[in-house]
Amino acid sequence: MKRVYTDRHAEAGVHAELPEIETWPNQYATGYEIEIVMPEFTSVCPRTGLPDHGTLTLHYVPDQHCLELKSLKMYTLAYRNLGIFQENAVNRMLADVVKAARPVSATLAGEFTPRGGVYTKITASWSRGSKRAR
């Protein structure tokens, strides 16, 4: 069987330049959790060019900074025409959230609408002391 997906497809979008996610100083040290739901996420399959639609749900426990929502929205919108696999989109976004806000912990779940009868849910997590989320 001939391999259809290439290494180039696999890394598409992973290192793309995206808008900065801004933060603001957290005023509370109570260990509270923030949930942000982004129901209109879109990106593009790097091989077929077909759109991917989904809902992203971010849970994070802030430390010294909270995510500024408008900049997060602009960041998310930058994926609209970006060729990137769903798995890479979720992991890349989590890494960028961790880099921007340096939370105590964060989990990002992407629930993508079915394409060809296949539903995908990808969940990526990070917490202090873990080595993932560059």
DSSP state, residue 64: S
User: CA 22, 25, 30: angle at the middle one, nearest 5?
Assistant: 125
Structural tokens at position 108:
């990002």
- Of the candidates 7, 52, 63, 66, the residue annotated as catalytic is 52
Residues linked to residue 115 through DSSP beta bridges, in sequence order: 118
Closest CA to 114 of 90, 86, 94: 86
- Helix H or strand E encompassing 97: helix 86-101
Write the CA distances from 72 to 10, 80, 108, integer angstroms: 25, 14, 13
Residues linked to residue 44 through DSSP beta bridges, in sequence order: 51, 83
- Of the candidates 7, 45, 63, 66, the residue annotated as catalytic is 45
Q: Is 52 a catalytic residue?
A: yes
Catalytic residue numbers? 45, 52
